[in-house]
Structure 1
Amino acid sequence: MFTHIFIYRFKCLIRDRQLVFWTLLFPILLGTFFYMAFSNLNNEETFKPIDAAVVNDSAYQQDSQLRMVMQSVSKGKDRLFNLKTASNQAEADNWLKQDKIDGYYTSGEEIKLTVKETGISQSIMKSFVDQYRTSSSAVTNIAKKNPKALQNGLLKDVGEQRSYTKEVSGGSAEPNNVLNYFYSLIAMACLYGSFWGMKEVTDIQADITDRAARVNMAPVHKLEAFLAGSCAALIILFVEIMILLAYLQFGLNISFGQRTGYVLLTALIGSVLGISFGAFIGAVIKAGEGLKIACLIVVTNLGSFLAGMMYMNMKYLIATYVPPLAWLNPVNLLTDAFYALYYYDSLHRYALNMGMMVLFIIFFCAGTYLIVRRRKYASI
């Protein structure tokens, strides 16, 4: 009997075009829009040389040290400035007014910076001139006290920068800010599977739909009908998530790391989480189907927002200021599990996320069972 119910529930569910659209086609369309919007996000973070100028007056010509420094930072692929030389200050002011440069330097007793507005480029130019002033002052003071230091490579030592901290990566993969959008999209798609779970619970509650009334009239235990239908819904949802993963990886070149088996396991657990969550909401809320759907949409979309799908920094703000909320958000747990597989070599963080999701599944399933098994009807 279980197999018979499973087959017919599968046929019934797969013909629901609205649910297929929201759980399969909508995430694919949203993923495509994400790719179009964020594909060049990492490239835009690459540093570009700053358009700067220096006034080539008599003071600049006499300052050989400044000329040497300016030439050194304006050469090569990793140069700091695209340096232009102005014949006088009026010409530099004209370039600045026309936005041809971000600022210009003027020599004298000390180097000065002139800018029209504030911004990242102007801040970098100010940091450069501050560092030059500090280094120049240090060289002058040391040279007064010990003239021989100039002959022992003092200028080279002052200009050399050393780092005494070592950057240690959490994993072998390169950090990628874009991936969180796509991982949260997959998590949202898994939680949208709650529509399937809600449908299964709704179709066994005789006081809600006529179909459920007919099911309760049949000589089959409603929990058996619910389990058969839930298995059919789980298979449909899991196949949809597999299609979404394949599209993201092979169609949009979104990386999931080298742990394919764990990625598939995460997708399966996420699918079970979505089905069980929908069934729980369908059992707890006794009102009509419209209110249940509204509740699922609000919870899923709010969870997606807190997981960083709409605003990436929100995920880190929640983790920093409201850590318990990050662990109580199923969408965030799924998102973090995918990112842990991609970025971290250790499975510790991944195991924590998976463990929390399993606890949620147990809670939802137990709650659904306790509610549904006690619900009886005086007449149908």
Structure 2
Amino acid sequence: MWTTFLVVLKMNLRSRSALFWLIVFPLVLATMFNGVLGQIDQGYDIKPMSMAVVEDANWHRAVGADAFVESLAGKKSSSDATTGSHEGTATGLNQRLIDITTVASTTEARHRLADDGVQGYLNADGDGRLRMTLSSDTADSAGDSASSDVNATVTIAALHGAIELYNRTDAITRETIEEHPNAAASARFWRSVGDAADLTKETALTNFRPDAIARYYYALLGMACLMAMSYAVAAVTFAQANLSALGIRRTVAPLGRARQLLAGFLASWLCSGTSLLIALAYIRYGCGVLLGGREPAAVLAVAVASFMSCAFGTMIGAIPKLSHGAKIGLTSAIPCVLSLFSGLYGSFAMELSDWIARHEPVLAFINPAQQVTNLFYDILYYDSYRPFAATCARLLVMSVAFLAVGVILLRRQRYEHL
């Protein structure tokens, strides 16, 4: 049995096509993902916009406007504010939203806007409320997903929220002072106004910060896992007397068929697991797709996924009256088709995968590629390991079913002559 294990292992390592499709191809595709999609997540970052500040008479009457804008520009933290009614109502973040250019009038700000000197301007009206005006190009880029300025929407939304917070705080403060004049002399009142920004806090809903392109890499691992079926298919095929000369010799060998198949299965499991670990290591360390500090769980996921892949390959390899080439073709066609429904082929495939998961969960449940992909979702995004364990259990159930079918098919095969 040990000799058979080594023979199958050497056979797998000498297969150039298997080495290409199971090691080289995932690395090349991951490199393409990293080059083409590697900057997508930066589209969700906040980058400062060039803004003119109209410091006219209305602006000087707006109490706390200077401190507010300085906070937006990163020149002054909201926690450093000690005077004024709105100095603590900036963003509550250590994030620079704007680059300031000071102008004396709205007319001058519009001239700078027309000359593309700034992307917008801030001014105050007669009631002390702040207003933001954007150039037409900036507004268009914020609404165009294909625009090169992919950060405009995020930054404008952050600015809009900060300005709305300032204006609401201004209105509430003025109304409170009008109804309760003594509040203006209370330090506790001004501290409560300054703490308004702390009413909104960042909360982590997942175990790790979501990566916009991580799902493409997970879908790639699902496809690579299923393509690793070719190892088990070859191990089973070369043990069948009607498909190869090696199968004839193995049939008349003293070692029983069960031990031969077990040795071939273990060698295939080792090869497929190693190829997936190489792809996972490259994705993690070469492409920088983090796993939230759960690398040991990812290794376990690879072991479970490769076991399922070998069980699937055993079932395909046991199909009677089908040539070795046809079976190898299935190991390429099946992963390509199933990966469509796990989201590998771009945004449309991702939307299709999400739709299936929401409306037809049974189809996602029986899709091995989707379940392998879910293994890494569960590791990265859930605080508990329970979803990960449930997905592992589903893959093991699939493995048992595949092996049962494969054993039944192999036991029914008989040869009239060798």
Aligned 8 A contact 1:205 1:213 in 2:
yes
Bigger shift: residues 248-257 or 3-12: 248-257
Q: More deviation in 338-347 or 186-195?
A: 338-347
Long gaps (5+) in structure 1: none
- The 3-state SS of whatever aligns with 1:101 is coil
Paired residue type of 2:31: T
Alignment partner of 2:177 out of 143, 150, 157: 143
Identify which of 268, 271, 282 aligns with 1:233: 268
- RMSD of Structure 2 on Structure 1 (CA): 3.5
The equivalent of 1:158 in structure 2 is: 193
1:143-195 deviation line (CA, Å, top 9, x unaligned): 32222222225455335234387836554x55444544444433332221111
User: Structure 1 residue 367 and structure 2 residue 405: aligned?
Assistant: yes
Equivalent in the alignment of 2:370: 332
State how 1:286-301 maps to structure 2 within 5 Å.
287-289=322-324, 291-301=326-336
Q: Offset of 1:253 from its aligned partner?
A: 5.2
SS where residue 346 of structure 1 aligns? Answer: coil
In the alignment, what sits opposite 2:394? 356
3-state SS of paired residue (2:384): coil
Contact residue 311 and residue 403 of structure 2 kept, 8 A: yes
Counterpart CA distance in 2 for 1:69 and 1:229 is 70
After superposition, the Cα gap between the structure-2 partners of 1:148 and 1:375, relative to the gap in structure 1 and judged at 3 Å, is: same
Structure 1 residue ranges, 4+ long, deviating more than 6 angstroms after superposition:
none
State the SS of the aligned residue for 1:78: coil
Contact 1:184 1:309 in 2 (8 A): yes
Cα offset, 1:321, TM superposition: 4.1
Compute the displacement of 1:358 (Å). 0.7
Query: Taking structure 1 as reference, are residues 98 and 376 closer, same or farther at Cα in structure 2, changes over 3 Å only?
Result: farther
Q: Percent identity?
A: 24
CA contact (8 A) 2:240 2:248 kept: no
**TM alignment of 1:16-35, pairs within 5 A:** 16-35=15-34
Distance change in 2, residues 1:331/1:238 (3 Å): same
Distance in 2 (CA, whole Å) between partners of 1:72 and 1:251 is 38
2:49–2:119 CA contact under 8 A, matched in 1? yes
Partner of 1:56: 55
Give the C-alpha shift of residue 278 in structure 1. Answer: 2.0
TM-aligned CA distance change 1:344 to 1:112, over 3 Å: closer
Aligned partner of 1:88 in structure 2 is 105
Q: Which amino acid is the alignment partner of residue 90 of structure 1?
A: T
1:317–1:157 distance in 2 versus 1, CA, 3 Å: farther
1:317-337 Cα deviation digits (max 9, x unpaired): 554444334432323333333
Deviations 1:199-229 (A, max 9, x none): 234335566x454774586456655544333
Assess if the C-alpha contact under 8 Å between 1:223 and 1:373 holds in 2.
no
1:323 to 335, 348, 361: 361
- SS at 1:51's partner residue? strand
In structure 2, distance between residues paired with 1:332 and 1:57: 60
Q: Which residue of 2 aligns with 1:46?
A: 45
Q: Do the aligned partners of residues 286 and 89 (structure 1) sit closer, same or farther apart at CA in structure 2, a change above 3 Å counting?
A: farther
Structure 2 unaligned residues grouped into runs of 5+: 76-93, 143-152
Match of 1:167 in 2: 203
Kindly provide the CA deviation profile for residues 45-95 of structure 1, in whole angstroms up to 9, marking residues without a partner as x.
Answer: 332223222323333344344344333433335233222223333332233
Query: Residue type matched to 1:229 in 2?
Result: G
| Between 265-274 and 75-84, the greater mean CA deviation after superposition | 75-84
Q: Which residue of 2 aligns with 1:130?
A: 164
Query: How far, CA to CA, are the matches of 1:127 and 1:258 in structure 2?
Result: 33
- Secondary structure of the 1:144 match is helix
What is the CA–CA distance in structure 2 between the aligned matches of 1:137 and 1:285, rounded to whole Å?
80
Determine if contact 1:59/1:107 at 8 Å carries over to the other structure. Answer: yes
Quick check: 1:188 aligned with 2:201? no
| Matches of 1:166 and 1:129, distance apart in 2 | 19
Q: Following the alignment from structure 1 to structure 2, what is the Cα–Cα distance between the partners of residues 22 and 361? A: 22
Q: Please, which of 282, 288, 307 is the counterpart of residue 272 of structure 1? A: 307
Aligned-pair CA distance for 1:370? 1.0
SS at match of 2:53: strand
CA distance in 1, matches of 2:18, 2:203: 47
**Counterpart Cα distance in 1 of 2:229 and 2:387:** 25
Aligned length: 377
CA distance in 2, matches of 1:291, 1:94: 71
Query: Which position in structure 1 is the counterpart of 2:118?
Result: 101
Residues 52 and 102, structure 2, Cα contact 8 Å, conserved in 1: yes
Checking the alignment, whether the CA contact within 8 Å between 2:229 and 2:310 is kept in structure 1 is: yes
Between 1:220-229 and 1:183-192, the stretch displaced more is: 220-229
Give, as a single letter, the amino acid of the residue that structure 1 aligns with 2:98: F
